[in-house]
Amino acid sequence: MRTQEKVALVTGASRGIGRGCAEALAADGWSVVVNYRSHEDEAKAVAERCRSFGVRAVTAMADVRDREAVDAMFARTVEHFGGLHLFVSNAADSVRKPFVDLSVEEIAHTLDVSLWGVIHTAQAAARLMVRQNTGGAMVFVSSVHVPFPYANCADYNIAKAGGHALAMTLAAELAKHRIRVNVVEPGWVDTPGERKWSSEEDIAREGARLPWRRLATIQEIGNAVAFLASEKAEYITGSVLKVDGGFTLPRAGYE
């Protein structure tokens, strides 16, 4: 591994918040493993953007639901970079409809990606970092849906709550290994995933109702992750950083 090289692996990094995380980390001097499942061209573009900051970046295709594929991805990371210093859990999926209308298959899909995918990748990362015995950091991209569960998102709410609980557990277990574990809770973010459900008019209208008068950008979430990954956050572990532009403020407090 290069002297002083910092290596990060970001799941679901080909687009959306994952892309914002990968690019913010690269801008902060991290070499990046850009994980993706199905958007290869976009993942390559993210890696190229990361390399423009003077760091190394590679793409890594792996379905986070597949434990063997996940383990192989981490093994390739070690082969390529020599080790890992930061793991960012971001990959997720969901279905938006009332709980009574969700099929078992739809719930299972969301939990497979957004909870089991987190478990598979986090355990692989934790085992690697403990074995390295060089410390490190983990950041879980969660959601304001954990403290404030929204209707028609039961599958997503359950998965994110489980990931949050795992992050806090790991913060307690891994502190003795000098591995910091924290959570970022984004509010409403303008992503390709969000645009599956909302039109341009919906986003503009709903964003204007927020205290900050707009949705968050993927870069703003990435900047929060980069901060928690940095030496400036050396004494921060087991914490939650809410990045929501006031989204979760009491509605009565809105002007």
Active site residues: 156
Element (H, E) at 52: none
- CB distance 6 to 30 below 8 Å: yes
Q: Which residue type does 104 have? A: V
Count of C-beta atoms within a 10 Å radius of residue 127? 12
Task: Compute the distance between CA of residue 125 and CA of residue 135 in angstroms, rounded to an integer.
Answer: 12
Element (H, E) at 142: none
Lookup: tokens for 8: 């990060």
Q: Identify the three-state secondary structure at position 159.
A: helix
